[in-house]
């Protein structure tokens, strides 16, 4: 990807970070979700253990999941294949930072716990 489409830690959206980094440092750059990169890092660190199908769940500012199927990172059509925190847990429920209601993250994300 070239841009950050949304983040729970900044109100800014659609920021072309990869373009900014390439212009500043003169090297190729890409953007990827933190949970996806965590899953890839697990594959690099222990390729025997993390070679086929597995999930890596991150509980931090939000709730995310890196999903690996048949050894390949699964991102889905819109790069949201592992957005576990934004699966609807309770239709019409608590307001999530993404703007929807009832997401898992609206109940179990750090901001929901602080609430």
Three-class SS of 31-54:
CCCHHHHHHHHHHHHCCCCCCCCE
Question: In the prediction, which pLDDT does 33 show?
Answer: 85
Tokens of 95: 């307001």
> What does the pLDDT average to over 70-85?
82
pLDDT band at 115 (very low <50, low <70, confident <90, very high): confident
DSSP string, the chain: --SB--BTTBS--SB-HHHHHHHHHSS------HHHHHHHHHHHH-TTTTSSSEEEEEESSSEEEEEEETTEEE--TTS-TT-GGGSBSSTT-SBPTTS-BSBTHHHHSHHHHH-
Residue 81 has pLDDT above 90, yes or no: no
Sign of the torsion formed by the C-alpha atoms of 90, 115, 86 and 13: positive
Report the mean per-residue pLDDT for the chain: 88
Mean pLDDT for the stretch of residues 74-89:
82
pLDDT band at 12 (very low <50, low <70, confident <90, very high): confident
- Tens of pLDDT, residues 22-55: 999 999 998 888 889 999 999 999 999 999 999 9
Give the C-alpha separation, 32 to 76, whole Å. 13
Say if domain 32-114 classifies as CATH 3.30.420.40: yes
pLDDT category at 60 given cuts 50, 70, 90 is confident
Domain positions in the chain are: 1-31, 32-114
């Amino acid at each position: 990807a070239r841009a950050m489409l949304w983040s729970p830690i900044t109100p800014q959206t659609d920021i072309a970070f990869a373009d900014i980094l390439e212009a500043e440092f003169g090297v190729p750059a890409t953007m990827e979700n933190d949970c996806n990169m965590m899953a890839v890092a697990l594959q690099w660190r222990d390729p025997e253990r993390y070679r086929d199908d597995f999930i890596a769940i991150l509980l931090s500012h939000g709730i995310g999941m890196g999903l690996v199927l048949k050894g390949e990172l699964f991102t889905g059509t819109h790069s949201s294949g592992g957005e576990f925190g934004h699966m609807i847990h309770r239709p019409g429920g608590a307001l999530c930072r993404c703007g929807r209601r009832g997401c898992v993250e609206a109940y179990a994300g750090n901001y929901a716990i602080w609430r």
